[in-house]
Amino acid sequence: MELRWLALPAGSAIMHRKKQEIFRATLRAFIRWREFANGVLGVPNFPVSPTDCSLYFLYLLESSKSTSAINCAFYAFTWPHQIAGVDSPTLHPTVIAVKEGALRLVSQPASERKELLKMIHLKQLAEKTGFDNLLQLRSLVMFILAFPVSSEVQNFVSFVVGTFSSV
């Protein structure tokens, strides 16, 4: 009985310490985002647009190659938006697809890593894009244009153009 009582404060202290570490890591991630937004993109650091958030995940994929950095950045975008009561860019389907793809790529052994985004990732982005929403459509076009043009991507672009010409 007495041992269980003694364990509670120690458990609480460990949880409190863990929360502080998570807060510090998230704060560091947001500070890194702020530097990237101001220095590289030249955009305001808050609120974060889904396009800028996705570009930052791709930057983290190339620079850190760490799942921890990507996850910290995800929560660094989520929490301030929740606190401010605005929509988080992490709810956008494009951001979710980019984050999941980045985590899959980083989780693979270095010898098995392929090109940054494969055709299947672009198709997943297109499937989740609302073509009646101009912002989502703009985001999709930016991602298509941002990657090297291979014959596979050219076929995809032809498909997308054909879809719009028939509308």
Same structural domain for residues 10 and 91?
yes
Q: How many domains does the chain have?
A: 2
Same domain, residue pair 36 and 86 = yes
Residue 104's pLDDT is 85
The domain spanning residue 65 has which CATH number?
1.10.150.130
Same domain for 53 and 8: yes
Same-domain check for residues 10 and 86: yes
Q: Is there a cis peptide before residue 47, judged by omega within 30 degrees of 0?
A: yes
Cα torsion 101, 55, 124, 137 to 10°: value is 170
Last residue of a domain, one of 78, 95, 113: 113
The pLDDT value given to residue 91: 92
Question: Same structural domain for residues 30 and 95?
Answer: yes
All residues at 6 or more sequence positions from 61 whose CB lies less than 8 Å from its CB, including other chains: 70, 102, 105, 106, 116
9-59 pLDDT, tens digit per residue, is 555 666 667 778 888 888 898 899 899 889 888 888 889 888 888 888 888
Exposed/middle/buried for residue 119 (C-beta within 10 Å: 0-12, 13-18, 19+): middle
**Burial class (CB within 10 angstroms; exposed 0-12, middle 13-18, buried 19+) of 74:** buried
> What's the CA gap between 110 and 112, in Å, rounded?
5
Cβ atoms of residues 89 and 50 within 8 Å = yes
The pLDDT of residue 80 is above 70: yes
- Residues 28 and 65 both lie in one domain: yes
> Are 58 and 98 within 8 A, CB to CB?
yes
Task: Look up the domain containing 58 and give its range.
Answer: 1-113
DSSP state at residue 91: G
> Rounded mean pLDDT of the chain?
76
CA distance 131 to 164: 9
Overall pTM > 0.75: no
**Using CA atoms, how far apart are residues 73 and 69, in angstroms rounded to an integer?**
6
The domain boundary, picked from 74, 96, 113, lies at: 113
Residues 117 and 65: their CA atoms lie apart, in Å, by 14
Rounded Cα distance between 73 and 90, Å, is 10
Bigger pLDDT: 70 vs 6: 70
Same domain, 104 and 130: no
**Residue 15, both tokens:** 């949880």
